[in-house]
Homo-oligomer: A and B are copies of this chain.
Amino acid sequence: MTVDVVTVPTDHDAPSELFEVPGPLTTPAGVAERRRTPAEHARSLVQNSILGTLSTLTRDGDPWGSLVSYGVLEDGSPVFLVSRLAEHTRNLEGDPRASLVVAEQAREGDPLDHGRVTLAGRVVRPEGERLAAARAAHLAAVPSAQIYIDFGDFSLFVLEVERVRWVGGFGRMDSTNAEQYRDAEPDPVTPHAAYAISHLNEDHADALLEMARQLAGYTDATEATCVRADRYGLDLKLRTPRGVAHDVRVTFTEPCTEPNGLRAATVDLAKRARAAAAA
């Protein structure tokens, strides 16, 4: 492979040279590239927050947004605990259509270059076993709701998800359907990813650079920064004499199955990179 510069396909009505990025100089070694599916991204994002913005419809059909806390049922459905006194509750009683936006905590850089998901569907009041599960899910996520969950004006609503839109940041976005969302597993390492990323960047920049050169095909990389970590691998940002390459993937030998799996998986990547350099 001798590709030097790749023009990323884009629908933006803009000069195409803005989207030229350096590609790998050799064929990436080893494990086939693997990334989370849009459904896995969405499930992981929803699972790892307890706060979102709910969009509902007023009596006049106007769109109305409000902040809500939520828990998550095993099938990924969000559970809200809402007061009859709140406008969104009156809205939902009039029209059950709703959507929930959950966003990652903002990081450095452009505020829109980080993950969020929109779940759209209809709310229902759960009954029987579903009600018991909804109550447990909400209290697990928001323990302080114990204080008001039994107030007479509060009810539990479950959003039955019909449509899912995931946006990972600039140029990373996709839609998925209710079935794929429900069947996707939340990424177990997400709660530990932010710590792992800073640790790698602060203490193991040399190992990241070796991964970029030996495993990702960027033999001319001069600096590597980890920007994302998930159960399947790491995304690196690389400096090369040909420019900056974003979202360069290095894939783990095996996906992580445990919350604390990132450490062993990245140590294994570093070993593979060192072995390839020595070969």
Contact = CB atoms under 8 A, between A and B. Distances in A.
Interface of A: 11-14, 18, 50-51, 53-57, 61-69, 83-85, 87, 97-101, 103, 106, 109-112, 116, 118, 120, 142, 144-145, 147-148, 150-153, 165, 167
Nearest to A15: B151
A13 B50 contact: no
Nearest to A68: B112
A118 B152 contact: no
A55 B112 CA distance: 16
Nearest to A53: B53
B151 A83 contact: no
A64 B99 contact: yes
Given A12-B153, A101-B53, A65 B65 contact: yes
Nearest to A51: B111
B103 A151 contact: no
Contacts of A67: 101, 103, 112, 116, 167
Given A11-B153, A13-B152, A97 B65 contact: no
Given A14-B152, A110-B144, A144-B109, A57 B65 contact: no
B54 A148 contact: no
A64 B14 CA distance: 27
27 contacts: A12-B85, A12-B148, A13-B84, A13-B151, A13-B152, A14-B151, A14-B153, A18-B147, A51-B103, A51-B106, A51-B112, A55-B55, A55-B64, A56-B63, A57-B61, A61-B61, A62-B97, A62-B99, A62-B120, A63-B120, A65-B101, A66-B116, A68-B112, A69-B112, A110-B142, A110-B145, A111-B142
